[in-house]
Chains A and B, each alone.
Chain A
C-alpha cells in the first residue's frame, strides 16, 4: 500500500502527514493542541461546536480542524488573534445559553479565553428540570450544548438504536425522544453510550446525580480501575469509578479495539450485585446449610 504524504505549515512548523489526515490530528502530532467539544475519538466529527476553528490561508471563513483534511501546501494558524476571538465568542455563546458548571474542561477554556457571557441577556436555551425517569441515568438538558455526540452514539456511530434525535430548529433545537416521551417508553435500550460521550454532564449516572444532590460527590476521592466486564464473552473493558468502596460510574476507554468506548446496559449498569448488601451479606463459612425446597 502506498501512502501518500502531504506537507503543510501549522503555526510556522512544517508538518508532513498522510493524505486525509485532519488538521486536528496533524496539529496534535506536532504537539499543538486545539480545543474541541463535539469531537470525540470514537465518533465521526460533526464539527458543530466550532470551538476547534483555525485559520487556513486557502479558505475565506475559518475551518473546523476536527473534520477538515489537510490541504497540501496550506498554511494553518491555530492560535492567532482572529481564531482566539472566535473561540472566545463560541465559549461565550455556549455559556450564555447553558449551565456549564459541571464541565471542568469548558470552565478552564473559558478562563483561558477570557470569555465573558455577562453581556448577554439571561436567556438559557432550556430551563427544564432534570429528567429523572428511571434508576439508571438522568438527563439535564439545561446543560446540553447540542454537541450531537449522544445522538451519534445512540445512532449509527455505535448503538443503532436511535432513541433520541435532534428535534425542532434553531435556538429551540433539542435532543429529544419522539414527542419528548419519557425514556422508558422510548426505544432506549439503556446502553448509556450517550452518557459515555456527553461532555457537559447533561447526561449523568443516577448514582452521580444522587451523590451530587446529597453533596457527597467527591471526584478527588475517586479511583478509576480498568477491568473486564463479567457478563457475556465479548470482553469489554470497563473503567470502574469508585468512591468509598462503591462503584459510582462506569465508562470504557474510547481507544480500545473491543468497545471503542461503548458498552451495553449490563456492562454499564449491571454491577449492582457486587455491592448491594442484600445480595452479598458479609459471610462466614457455612455448614449444614438447610435446604428449604
Chain B
C-alpha cells in the first residue's frame, strides 16, 4: 500500500452504497482501534474490483464523480492517480459530468455500419436531441447500423440487439458449432442438458485430463481468436505447472471490427462456453475461471450471467464439482470500451484493475498470466470446438476441413451487399461459396476485408481463395477472427480506410512510441489524402510508418495497425498518385 492521499471530494450516499455492495464479500483491510490488517497483500486482493466498481459508479450516475472515484479508490486501497489513470483509459467511462441531459448514444461508424447508414442514424438521433458518440465497432455488424445506449441510471443497452428475431446465423454450409443455436434456450440449463449438454464434460471426467489434452492436440485444434495457436500446447503447458493457482480466462472481448461470432455464442449458447471452460479447468488442474466480456455486449453479458448463476446453483461449478475433487468457479468481468483489452496480457491487466496495456512477452501466459499465475486464455469459439472434439471424436472432427486446418470455422459476413450474419463453414471452403451462401453476387464484389481492422484487404481476384489458414496465407492474408467484410464499388473505400486509421489511433493504448505516435501520424496522412490527390512523399511516409509500427511495436495492435491501409494500396483499391 502506498502513501494514500485523496482529495477532499466526497461520495454521495448512493456511491457509498455501491462501493459497499462491491466489497461486502471481499477481504478488505481491517482497521480497529489498536490493530490493523492491511498492507500490500490485502490491497492486491482488492484491486481487481476496481473495474467492476467503475462500472457500478458509471451506470448509476452516467459519469464517475471525483467523490465516487475517491471513495472507490480509497476502499480498494488504490492510489488516486492510478484509479484515475485506469478510469480514463476506457471509452465507456466519463470522468466529467456530462454537459448533455439523458443517455449517451454510441453509434458504430466502423466499416460495416458505416456503409449501412451510420451517418443517417446519427443524424436521426441528433434530430431527436440525443447525445451521440461516434464509436468503434459494436460487434453487431449483422444488424448494422448498430448502436448502444449508456443511460444515466441503469445498465447500458445494446439497442440493435433488442430485436431477437434479428439473430442471423446460417448453417447451410455446416452446422456443427452452431447446432445448439436456436434450439437450446440460453436461459434454461435443463434445455441445455436435454440437448446433450455436459456429455463432453462427463467424457472428460472419465478419460482424465491427459487424455483430453491429447485428443485436442490430435484434433489439431487451434485458437480461433486470430492467432491460431495450437490449443493443446497451451493446455499442456498449464497442466504441467505445479502452481497453487491457475486460471482459465475466456477472451470474449471481441472488438475486432466486423467480428460478432463470440457475442452470438454468449447470447445463444452460454452453457456450452461454461461447460468447455470447466473441462479446461479439470483437465489442467485450474481452479479459477474468468470470462472477460466486452462492455458493449450488454445482452450477452446478462445472458451469460444468468446462465452462470444456474450452473453454479446446479453444482456443476464450485467446490468439489459433482463429488469429484475438482473445484472450479467462474467470474465475469466486463470490459469498458478498449479494443486493446482483447490482447491477452492487456486483458490480464484490465481484470487486475490496471490500465489495459499489454505486457511484454515472454513470459507467456501459460507461465505467468493472470495475477502472474499460469493461465490459459481461449477464445469462446475455440472452446466450443472442445465440446465437438470430445463428443464426436477426433476422427469425426478431422473429417471436416483440411489437413492443416481441421474442423469448421465461424465466419462473420457483413458489408454493403448480401445477407450479413454468422456462417459456419468447413476450413478450405472457397470464399466464393461463403459469399454465395450470404447472397453476395461475386461480380459485385470490389473488395473484401478479411480478418477485421487488423486483417488485409483483398480484391475480387481472391474470390476463389480457400478459407483455411494455409489458403489465406497463399494470398498473403489471414483469416484472423473470421471477419469477412465485403464491399461493392459503390463504397468510398478511401473513407473506409481512413476510418480504420482513426480506429487504430483511438484504440492504441499509448504505451509504445511506434504505435502511439505512428497511428496518429498514419491517420493524419489518410485525412490528407482524402482531401487531395496523394503524393509520393505521403506514400513513403505511410510505408515508413508501416515498417516501424509492424516491426517495433509491443503488441499485435501496433503490428497490424498499417496492414489494412497497406493492403488497400497494394491491391490497388485506393490511391492514385499524381
Contacts and interface: CB of A to CB of B under 8 A. Distances in A.
Interface of A: 47-51, 53, 61-62, 64, 67-69, 82, 85-86, 89-90, 93-94, 96-97, 119-121, 123, 125, 145-146, 148, 155, 160-173, 176-179, 181, 185-187, 189
Nearest to A52: B552
Contacts of B81: 162-165, 167, 176-178, 186-187
A64 B360 CA distance: 9
A178 B83 contact: yes
List the 7 closest A-B pairs by CB distance, nearest first: A173-B510, A162-B79, A165-B85, A89-B548, A93-B517, A178-B84, A187-B5
A167 to B, nearest CB: 5
Contacts of A167: 81, 84-85, 88-89
B513 A48 contact: yes
A145 B551 contact: no
15 contacts: A47-B554, A50-B514, A69-B362, A85-B548, A89-B544, A121-B521, A121-B524, A123-B520, A146-B510, A160-B2, A162-B82, A169-B338, A169-B507, A170-B506, A179-B66
B95 interface: yes
Given A90-B548, A119-B537, A165-B81, A187 B510 contact: no
A144 B398 CA distance: 54
B55 interface: no
A160 B552 contact: no
A190 to B, nearest CB: 12
Contacts of B95: 179
A91 to B, nearest CB: 9
Nearest to B540: A119
B573 interface: no
Nearest to B66: A179
A67 B511 CA distance: 15
Contacts, number: 170
Contacts of A189: 3
B513 A86 contact: no
Given A48-B554, A94-B517, A123-B520, A170 B3 contact: no
B69 A48 contact: no
A164 B4 CA distance: 12
A179 B6 CA distance: 11
A49 B520 CA distance: 16
Residue among B517, B518, B544 with the highest chain A CB neighbour number at 10 A: B517
A164 B82 CA distance: 7
Contacts of A164: 81
A123 B520 CA distance: 10
User: Which DSSP category, helix, strand, loop or mixed, fits chain A's interface?
Assistant: loop
Contact of A123 (B512, B524, B541): B524
Interface in B469-527: 505-514, 516-521, 524
B7 A50 contact: no
B387 interface: no
Given A171-B516, A172-B510, A62 B551 contact: yes
Interface in B52-98: 66, 69, 79-85, 88-89, 95
Contact of B559 (A61, A119, A120, A125): A61
A64 B362 CA distance: 11
B545 interface: yes
A96 B510 CA distance: 15
Contacts of B83: 178
A278 B557 CA distance: 59
B3 to A, nearest CB: 5
A226 to B, nearest CB: 29
Nearest to A91: B513
Given A69-B362, A97-B517, A178-B80, 13 more contacts: A48-B512, A48-B513, A49-B512, A49-B513, A119-B537, A162-B3, A162-B79, A165-B81, A167-B85, A171-B508, A178-B7, A179-B95, A187-B80
B548 A170 contact: no
B64 to A, nearest CB: 11
B547 interface: yes
Interface string B544-572: 11011011111000010000000000000
A68 B362 CA distance: 8
Contacts of B294: none
A67 B2 CA distance: 26
B509 to A, nearest CB: 6
A170 B520 contact: yes
B106 interface: no
B88 A155 contact: no
Contacts of A90: 513-514, 548, 552
Contacts of B4: 187
B355 interface: yes
A85 B545 CA distance: 11
Contacts of B512: 47-50
Contacts of B552: 50, 53, 61-62, 86, 89-90
Nearest to A61: B551
Contacts of A62: 551-552
Contacts of A61: 550-553, 559
A262 to B, nearest CB: 15
B500 to A, nearest CB: 15
A164 B3 CA distance: 12
A49 B552 CA distance: 9
Nearest to B338: A169
A181 B360 contact: no
A63 to B, nearest CB: 9
Nearest to B73: A178
A49 B516 CA distance: 10
A93 B88 contact: no
B85 A89 contact: no
B7 A170 contact: no
A167 B87 CA distance: 8
A146 B516 CA distance: 10
Contacts of B507: 169-170
Contacts of B524: 120-121, 123
A93 B84 contact: no
Nearest to B524: A121
A187 B516 contact: no
Contacts of B360: 47, 64, 67-68
A121 to B, nearest CB: 5
A187 B84 contact: no
A81 to B, nearest CB: 11
A119 B540 CA distance: 10
A173 to B, nearest CB: 3
Given A161-B2, A181-B7, A171 B547 contact: no
Contacts of B514: 50, 86, 89-90, 93
A93 B338 contact: no
Given A86-B552, A123-B524, A171-B519, A166 B85 contact: yes
B539 to A, nearest CB: 12
Interface in B330-361: 338, 355, 360
A145 B510 CA distance: 11
A181 B360 CA distance: 31
Contacts of A97: 517, 520
A170 B521 CA distance: 12
B521 A120 contact: yes
Interface in B121-179: none
Contacts of B79: 155, 161-163, 165, 187
Contacts of B84: 165, 167, 176-179
Contacts of B510: 146, 166, 168-173
A165 B353 CA distance: 14
A43 to B, nearest CB: 14
Nearest to B82: A165
B517 to A, nearest CB: 4
